[in-house]
Amino acid sequence: MTMSAPGRRREHSGNVPGVSMQFPGVWRLRGKLLTRNAVPGIRAYSEDLLQLEGKEYRVWDPTRSKLAAALVKGLRTFPFPLGAKVLYLGIANGNTASFLSDIIGPEGAVYGVEISERSMRDLAQLAQLRPHIIPVLANAKLPGRYAWVEPVDVIYQDVAADDQAEILLRNAARFLKKGGFALLAIKARSIDVTAPPEQVFRRELARVRALEIVEEIRLDPLEKDHLFVVLRKP
Ligand SMILES: C[S@@+](CC[C@H](N)C(=O)[O-])C[C@H]1O[C@@H](n2cnc3c(N)ncnc32)[C@H](O)[C@@H]1O
């Protein structure tokens, strides 16, 4: 299933030669991925900014974001309409989340769970400019610590931990709406450095079989030995 229904206020750059919309909120220009900058004039990190039709866009680097890498590699399921509520496990300093926040707009929310206090400091600065990113300093293994988070449409998980299947299942049971999506980045080397990556991926997918597998994408060579998986809560 492809969540590509246009949102309520998706202005786009249809008149600019070479610009096409990949999904609502995500554009392509000469192979580059773009989102519309929710905070014009301000970079979240060191991304390039482009002015098109008097509007500002941010260039989303697929070598620095697994979600961008998955889009470049042909991701078909993109469940981030305007207003979507997202629980992001392993948000780090918020690089990918900053693009998600452009895409889901101010009525959406990204609850960003992160265990590292250092990353959380950067994230807190980002959230001052993008208040619909809500930093949560916590261990994603203990979802009871952030039980106040509302039910969400999507869980995005990129924690690079060996028990990531268990982390996802616990959080999905608690927060993910029925029919909601879970996007999981699996790094083979974080789980087992000796086994072939494909074997690790099959093992991890067997562990999350309480969720339906919708789509799988290998992120190589943008991210070595990574599988990006879209799952759905039945
Ligand atoms: C690969 S990085 C995430 C990068 C980020 N998703 C992005 O695209 O901008 C993984 C992050 O998960 C965090 N992490 C690892 N284990 C965690 C846990 N149990 N709970 C919360 N965060 C965790 C790490 O501190 C690290 O910041």
**Interval between CA 12 and ligand 1 midpoint (Å):** 32
Kindly list the protein residues whose Cβ atom lies closer than 6 A to any atom of ligand 1: 65-66, 90-92, 95-96, 113-116, 119, 139-141, 158-161
Class for the domain spanning 67-232 = alpha beta
Return the pLDDT at 19. Answer: 87
What the block records as the tokens of 27 is 């554009």
Low-confidence ranges of the chain (pLDDT < 70): 1-15
Segment 172-222, tens digit of pLDDT? 999 999 999 999 999 998 888 999 999 999 999 999 999 999 999 999 999
Return the pLDDT at 14. Answer: 52
Spatial strand order in the sheet of 226-232: 133-137, 109-114, 85-89, 152-157, 176-187, 226-232, 212-218
**Interval between CA 158 and ligand 1 midpoint (Å):** 6
Q: What is the DSSP string of 120-180?
A: HHHHHHHHHHSTTEEEEES-TT-GGGGTTSPPEEEEEE----TTHHHHHHHHHHHHEEEEE
Other Cβ atoms less than 10 A from the Cβ of 205: the count is 18
Check whether the bond before 221 is cis (ω within 30° of 0). Answer: yes
Question: What distance in Å separates the CA atoms of residue 81 and residue 8, rounded to the nearest whole number?
Answer: 9
